[in-house]
Structure 1
Amino acid sequence: MSNAVTLRLTKELSEFTKNPDHQLFLHYDDSNIMNIKAMITGPPDTPYCLGQFEFSLQFPKDYPTNPPKVLALTTNHGRTRFNPNIYAGGKVCLSILGTWRGNAGEQWSSAHGITSILLSIQSLMSDMPYRNEPGHDLEKDMTKLEPYNQKIRHETIRISVCDRLEKFLGMNQPYFFNTLSDASSSSTPSSPPGAASASSALATPVGTPNSSGTPTPSTPAIFEPIYASSVTANDEFSDLSKRLFLAYYDIYQNTVETESAIVKDGTTFMKASFEFGGNKMDGTFNYASLRKRLESIKLAIEKETSDWIGQSSRWISTSSRMSSNLKRQFEQIREYYRENNTGAVEVELVDDNPFVWTFTLFGKPMSNYDGGMFKVQMVFHDTFPDIQPRVKFLTPMYHVHVTSDGVPFYSVEKPDDVRSHIHAISRLVLEDEPSTNPSTHVNLEAAKLHFGTKEQRREYNRNARRCASRSTEYFE
């Protein structure tokens, strides 16, 4: 790898870090930045809504003269074509990547880079992806457009969310393959290496009979190695995916509820004219299954968080490096707020446990939350900051960026600095206006009211003020 390529990629990665995007994520090894993994969450208001899609970027030695090789990894082990331009085999058809002919000015140039590539891929995940297929760009027949969207919505949740999170959690949840060929060619897989244990009450062993008495199919043993390793319990995005799941859980379930009222379970997916051979999306709808799987995943993540608290006594007794680090940070942060006398935050350790923090936020005067007192819990793992804290409002909070059960959506500038986390969460309460970015709107009702009509906005304000006035009841 030449120095010029190293410098170029290092600069791009630095710029990417300085300008975080709530829907684009990267992971790479500093010792080999020629190979990068990316995760893109599907744009809201599209069939890909907040799905978690991984891609691999392999940069050539003459980059940026030539583009990287990009491969889609979220393809149901090479079975599912998620878009006319994102093939089941992983190929991503984009003119700037040289994998599709384009008009003048659309080809690759050295002006392109990591961010523009990811944004171009994300742009394929449109509200009408059927029109991405050449010759179908002017299609208006909703009997073709909407059925294609419907199956993408279903498979986005099934494959990019449920299959993915169950792997990360080590859950032996059966894989609900949608074709007879999948079932007939299957064999029982081994558990992923390093898989975290999940409650047996949340899981169904692979190959055991389902409610109808028929054995559930398991993962096929034969597929390209890159798919075999694309989602494992030790995946680079495992922690991020779990935190995003907790933030987006209500939205996933809302999609399930909405679509299940439109499409009857057992209905076969429509087949688009451009789908053929192994490059297609076949299957049947089963929203009842997805609803239960989402519920089980949430319970498993919450159990994992409570397990950290149980394990923390061992981390403390062994005087782990992180135990001392968190204790020191707590003392510094407590002193910081006392010295600055801001009166906006009070920080405490639960039972003097450096792995379990609570802090109380006081509502901003003359705002919707004036007079409110909101308690927030942060639970840390011994590998922090590699694994970020699990954060939850213990006091009910009505806010666009806080889920109905208290999970805040926030970004942090310094992931290893606990005070940065507290500041970021505090801004949700102290800032007057929430972000307009729809990928951060994790309370659907609150977002609809806040960004709706004047009367809806007034209703949002009233709900927020009620939330603040009732918050003190939880401290009595």
Structure 2
Amino acid sequence: MTNNPTVTLRLAKELSEFTKNPDHQLFLHYDDSNIMNIKAMITGPPDTPYCLGQFEFSLQFPRDYPTTPPKVLALTTNHGRSRFNPNIYAGGKVCLSILGTWRGNAGEQWSSAHGITSILLSIQSLMSDKPYRNEPGHDLEKDNSKLEPYNQKIRHETIRISICDRLEGFLGINQTLNFNGTSDTSTTSASTSTSTSTSSTPSSPPVPTAGGTALATPVGTPSYSGTPTPTTPSLFEPLYASSVTQNDEFSDLSKRLFLAYYDIYLHTVQTESENVKDGTSFYKAPFEYAGNKMDGTFNYASLRQRLENIKKAIDQETVDWIQQSKRWISESTRMSSNLKRQYEQIREYYRENNTGGVEVELVDDNPFVWNFTLIGKPMTNYDGGMFKVEMVFHNTYPDMQPRVKFLTPMYHIHVTEDGVPFYAVAKPDDVRFHIDAISRLVLEDEPSTNPSTHVNLSAARLLFGTKEQRREYNKQARRCASRSTDYFE
């Protein structure tokens, strides 16, 4: 069936607008040859039980769009076995009035004024701090005693399913899942992703960016034991399968987000393990029933180990990239030449247009490993500081984005304690835009107030706390700057 040109034009316009106004928590993948089928990833809002989880959805647009809404299916549902929300079913159904899957009130139905962004924001709004209230008949219930037990299992399964299960699949980490409930069992050896293949031919499809069209890195998949009892409808099954196979479109993005949010995931595990004992069964909500529920037991000890294994595997990938780059250089791959040319142009650009705030160099003349030094801006917390940053590239860049890390300790709400910066880049294929985006973290003194970008929790608490706490944050940042020069001696 051919696409409707009017619909294609409308979707192209929406996707263009989406790209111009990127959201830190909404991501798209689509193929330019068929934009009627789009996949989206939404990270759960901070301060909710879905905090920074990675949830995928499929959007299939009809030929009469926008007269009729798209068909939307949730893909992150533990193989159709876990209902993450009263309005997000285990079988993938998303109940929203604007999608025509829920009756809603007058004025809440679908209209041609709605579009991709409003759909994703509406889905994200379901991921609230009190999802139990989303169920009709329970929204006005005076008894609050059920809210936290329901939230507790959502928090656990957000980490287990949307983070651990999916990242282990991307990385080829073997795991055994027990389908008698959804409890964790042991996690075995961690192998690295095949994105570290030594082949000079791009072995991994591109990372998605907001509005991007790239694919993802082939990786190993988990092994399962037990007797599964799938309850997903036939239409849902192939779509779900495409979201969890080796070719997941968001693989590289998910890994980079994991590195940024790793400390937060661990913080959640630590906090929740103090509130609920491992081995405790999940609370069962009154609106949950066979085939559309979330059953299981808590096992935070296992989740901690799995998170640590995932972190080690992703870090090892970066090391492998550096090792493999020697062969990419010897073979004079296209990307080797491209990065070398970009380096020469960028170095010249900063020499001519910069007042000394950025200095760029290649490590051992390797175009796949860049170091650049940021000089703190006068009259800011980082005045006089010198901060070295490493960027490691894969031979498939920009399909796979660089792994970036501060080599000099950096105290900043947008930089993890391990040195991973959280930043958005306007042109992912231009290395200078990466450097400029990271530079702004240091050269500009007013961090973003968006909590999804606050990857250093302790720093964020100080910065947005009392006046005394804000002064302590400034003190820590200045101390970081004054000590930074010690690493250049």
Which one of the candidate residues 53, 56, 61 is aligned to 1:59? 61
Once residues 182 and 453 of structure 2 are traced to their aligned partners in structure 1, the CA distance between those partners, rounded to angstroms, is 39
CA spacing shift, 1:192–1:449, aligned 2, 3 Å: closer
Aligned residue for 1:261? 274
Once residues 63 and 283 of structure 2 are traced to their aligned partners in structure 1, the CA distance between those partners, rounded to angstroms, is 43
Which one of the candidate residues 393, 397, 403 is aligned to 2:406? 393
Once residues 310 and 413 of structure 2 are traced to their aligned partners in structure 1, the CA distance between those partners, rounded to angstroms, is 23
Question: Post-superposition shift, 1:179?
Answer: 1.3
Aligned residue for 1:93? 95
Q: Write out per-residue CA displacement over residues 31-62 of structure 1, whole angstroms, 9 at most, x where no aligned residue.
A: 00000000000000000000000000000000
Once residues 39 and 426 of structure 2 are traced to their aligned partners in structure 1, the CA distance between those partners, rounded to angstroms, is 21
Deviates more, 1:171-180 or 1:235-244: 171-180
Contact 1:395–1:471 (CA<8 Å) still a contact in 2? yes
CA spacing shift, 1:149–1:140, aligned 2, 3 Å: farther
Which one of the candidate residues 131, 134, 144 is aligned to 2:133? 131
Which one of the candidate residues 369, 387, 391 is aligned to 2:382? 369
TM-score (norm. length: structure 2): 0.90
Extract unaligned runs of 5+ from structure 1.
184-190, 198-203, 208-215
RMSD: 2.1
Question: Post-superposition shift, 1:206?
Answer: 7.2
Q: Relative CO higher for 1 or 2, CA cutoff 8 Å, sep ≥ 6?
A: 2
Contact 1:393–1:407 (CA<8 Å) still a contact in 2? yes
Determine helix, strand or coil for the equivalent of 1:55: strand
Contact 1:196–1:233 (CA<8 Å) still a contact in 2? no
**1:344 equivalenced with 2:357 (yes/no):** yes
Aligned residue for 2:171? 169
Determine helix, strand or coil for the equivalent of 1:174: strand
Once residues 109 and 40 of structure 1 are traced to their aligned partners in structure 2, the CA distance between those partners, rounded to angstroms, is 23
**1:217 equivalenced with 2:225 (yes/no):** yes
Determine helix, strand or coil for the equivalent of 1:34: strand
Once residues 148 and 399 of structure 1 are traced to their aligned partners in structure 2, the CA distance between those partners, rounded to angstroms, is 34
Extract unaligned runs of 5+ from structure 2.
186-190, 198-219
**1:244 equivalenced with 2:257 (yes/no):** yes
- Please tell me the residue identity of whatever aligns with 1:94: L
Which one of the candidate residues 296, 302, 306 is aligned to 1:293? 306
Once residues 394 and 194 of structure 2 are traced to their aligned partners in structure 1, the CA distance between those partners, rounded to angstroms, is 16
Moved over 4 A (4+): 180-183, 191-197, 204-207, 218-223
Determine helix, strand or coil for the equivalent of 2:119: helix
Aligned residue for 1:17? 19
Identity of aligned residues (%): 83
Which one of the candidate residues 109, 117, 131 is aligned to 2:119? 117
CA spacing shift, 1:125–1:104, aligned 2, 3 Å: same
Question: Post-superposition shift, 1:143?
Answer: 2.2
Determine helix, strand or coil for the equivalent of 1:71: strand
TM-score (norm. length: structure 1): 0.92
Deviates more, 1:438-447 or 1:172-181: 172-181
Question: Post-superposition shift, 1:174?
Answer: 2.4
1:322-337 alignment to 2 at 5 Å?
322-337=335-350
Aligned residue for 1:471? 484
CA spacing shift, 1:85–1:318, aligned 2, 3 Å: same
Once residues 347 and 218 of structure 1 are traced to their aligned partners in structure 2, the CA distance between those partners, rounded to angstroms, is 53
Once residues 365 and 182 of structure 1 are traced to their aligned partners in structure 2, the CA distance between those partners, rounded to angstroms, is 51
Once residues 394 and 180 of structure 1 are traced to their aligned partners in structure 2, the CA distance between those partners, rounded to angstroms, is 40
Question: Post-superposition shift, 1:176?
Answer: 5.2
- Please tell me the residue identity of whatever aligns with 2:268: T
Question: Post-superposition shift, 1:316?
Answer: 0.7
Q: Write out per-residue CA displacement over residues 440-475 of structure 1, whole angstroms, 9 at most, x where no aligned residue.
A: 000000000000100000000000000000000100
Aligned residue for 1:277? 290
Once residues 384 and 221 of structure 1 are traced to their aligned partners in structure 2, the CA distance between those partners, rounded to angstroms, is 41
Determine helix, strand or coil for the equivalent of 1:142: coil
**1:418 equivalenced with 2:418 (yes/no):** no
- Please tell me the residue identity of whatever aligns with 2:390: Q
CA spacing shift, 1:92–1:255, aligned 2, 3 Å: same
- Please tell me the residue identity of whatever aligns with 2:312: L
How many residues align structurally?
455
Contact 2:69–2:100 (CA<8 Å) still a contact in 1? yes
Aligned residue for 1:4? 6
Question: Post-superposition shift, 1:84?
Answer: 0.2
CA spacing shift, 1:344–1:195, aligned 2, 3 Å: closer
